[in-house]
Amino acid sequence: MTIDKTKQRTIKVLAFLVVFHVLLAYGLPGGMLALLAISIGILYSRIQAVGAVAISLSLVVATLLYGLALKVTGFGDTVYYRPDEILSEYRDDLGHRAYRRGETMRMRMPHGDLQPMTSAKIGVAHDVEYRIDSYGFRNDADYAGEPYLLVGDSFIAGSSNTQKDLLSAQLKRDYGLAGYNLAHPGDLSDYADYVEVFARNHNDFRALVFVFEGNDFGIEKADQRSMSSSLLKRYLDIFSNTNVYRVTKSLIKRAMRRSQIGGEAYVMQRNIREHHIALLTRYVEATKVKELPKNERFENALTRLKKYRPHIFFIPTNYRVYYKELEGARAPVLPDANWEYLKGLCAHEALECANLTTHMIRAGEALLAKGDLLWWQDDTHWNRNGIAVAARFVAEALKHDGPTPR
């Protein structure tokens, strides 16, 4: 049976679309994805339709077997050093990422998030427990009308920290402030998404929004997304829930970093008195920024949050907190462009903003005298000490709120 040229082309196009979607499931970098897609497109244009179909079906079967092998062997989970990547998923019902609902996971973290980015042995092992409620966030129980909604990225979600040390847990246990943890890694626009979706079914809460100096002000986050690119991103997020995507993307990222982890492209090694610590290079660079350009994506997100009476809290980098210890008492004064930008926006929108920097510097100095730190030595995140300092600051700030919202 002979297939005419029009049907041949149609079959080849369909076969190409199948292959392209399979490639999307591997979480490949954009350049690699484009190169493979173009190569396959050229190949399919030169072979018979039956050959294109055979290649596409073979790749589908191979991918299914790969995914099954990851599940059966458990490698799909063991490739990760912390629960965050295992539990995070894109939720169609919410339209954004959250954690896997109803999960409890205990893990011995062999190291923090900076170890994979350096060849130096800096890992400090510790145990963590993650408990996710039925909505998809790190809470011991489902939302029960808590007056405060804690919104932010991995600092508030509690990456690298065990459940009982979370900011929401310490606020409730030590200060009697009931807050629901609605935090997940992202940027300010993502935080606005979390709150807006949550507000469809809940009201009478006040949003406590935490903005991190290290990665929430980046100029690359300027609002340049068109409607089509936003829809494309959401479409691609669908594939990110599979083990094939997670594992392959992780392995490729590690392989691409290997040529650079010997220097300070990613991580800087420093000493604070008797402590050896690691700093994320790009966070250090973010701290040193002298001026921030207008960021429409950031500003639009702040405007979206305004209806939820947000109290904004600025989280400094560990480089800023330990600057004098790291660079010496005579080091030039650090610029404060990130905070000044946020403070100006808050003044313009008549929002309450508070800066944790001075509070954390003082607490850091006092803790250093006792031989301890506010951050994990091998991680970009607070340890329980840093979270406790933030909890005390937040509790003090909320004293001036008046009656607790109901």
pLDDT tens per residue, range 153-206: 999 999 999 999 999 999 999 999 999 999 999 999 999 999 999 999 998 999
Neighbour-count burial for 68-97, b at 16+ CB within 10 Å, e otherwise: eebeeeeebbebbbbbbbbbbbbbeeeebb
Q: What pLDDT is recorded for position 350?
A: 94
- How many separate domains does the chain show? 2
Q: What is the mean pLDDT of residues 140-145?
A: 97
Q: What pLDDT is recorded for position 337?
A: 96
Between 38 and 29, where is the model more confident? 38
Do 112 and 71 share a structural domain? no
Between CA 124 and CA 302 the distance in angstroms is: 37
Q: What pLDDT is recorded for position 230?
A: 56
Q: What pLDDT is recorded for position 159?
A: 96
Do 49 and 184 share a structural domain? no
Q: Which helix H or strand E contains 15, and what residues bound it? A: helix 5-24
Q: What is the pLDDT of residues 214-253, one digit of tens each?
A: 999 975 444 444 444 556 566 767 777 777 887 888 777 7
Residue 247 lies in a domain: no
Q: If you compute the radius of gyration of the chain from its CA atoms, what whole number of angstroms results? A: 24
Q: What pLDDT is recorded for position 262?
A: 57
Q: Report whether 298 contacts 216 (CB < 8 A).
A: yes
Report the CATH number that the domain containing residue 331 is assigned in CATH: 3.40.50.1110
Do 158 and 187 share a structural domain? yes
Do 289 and 191 share a structural domain? yes
Do 335 and 278 share a structural domain? yes
Do 31 and 116 share a structural domain? no
Do 70 and 150 share a structural domain? no
Q: What is the pLDDT of residues 71-88, one digit of tens each?
A: 887 776 677 899 998 899
Domain edge (last residue) among 28, 49, 78:
78
pLDDT band at 263 (very low <50, low <70, confident <90, very high): low
Q: What is the mean pLDDT of residues 355-375?
A: 96
Do 206 and 157 share a structural domain? yes
Between 261 and 277, where is the model more confident? 277
Per the listing, tokens 């991103």 go with 233
Of 97, 300, 304, 100, the closest CA to residue 185 belongs to 97
Q: In this predicted structure, which of 38-42, 92-96, 234-238, 301-305 has the lowest mean pLDDT?
A: 234-238
Do 358 and 211 share a structural domain? yes
Per-chain mean pLDDT for the chain: 89
Residue 240 lies in a domain: no
Phi-psi region of 67 (alpha: psi -120 to 50; beta: other; left: phi over 0): alpha
Domain edge (last residue) among 29, 45, 78:
78
Q: Which helix H or strand E contains 96, and what residues bound it? A: strand 96-99
Do 179 and 60 share a structural domain? no
Domain edge (last residue) among 29, 46, 78:
78
Q: What pLDDT is recorded for position 406?
A: 41
Q: Which residues, including other chains, have CB under 8 Å from residue 220's CB and lie 6 or more apart?
A: none
Residue 280 lies in a domain: yes
Q: What is the mean pLDDT of residues 28-55?
A: 90
Q: What is the mean pLDDT of residues 43-60?
A: 92
Structural tokens at position 43? 């190949």
Q: What pLDDT is recorded for position 222?
A: 45
Residue 239 lies in a domain: no
Residue 246 lies in a domain: no
Between 229 and 346, where is the model more confident? 346
Q: Indicate whether 291 pLDDT > 50.
A: yes
pLDDT band at 70 (very low <50, low <70, confident <90, very high): confident
Do 131 and 35 share a structural domain? no
Q: What pLDDT is recorded for position 227?
A: 44
Do 169 and 98 share a structural domain? yes
Q: What pLDDT is recorded for position 219?
A: 53
Q: What is the mean pLDDT of residues 350-369?
A: 96
HSE on the CB side for 203, CA within 13 Å? Answer: 2
Between 7 and 373, where is the model more confident? 373
Residue 89 lies in a domain: no
Residue 87 lies in a domain: no
Residue 176 lies in a domain: yes
Give the structural domain span for 50. 5-78
Q: Which residues, including other chains, have CB under 8 Å from residue 57's CB and lie 6 or more apart?
A: 18
Q: What is the mean pLDDT of residues 111-135?
A: 93
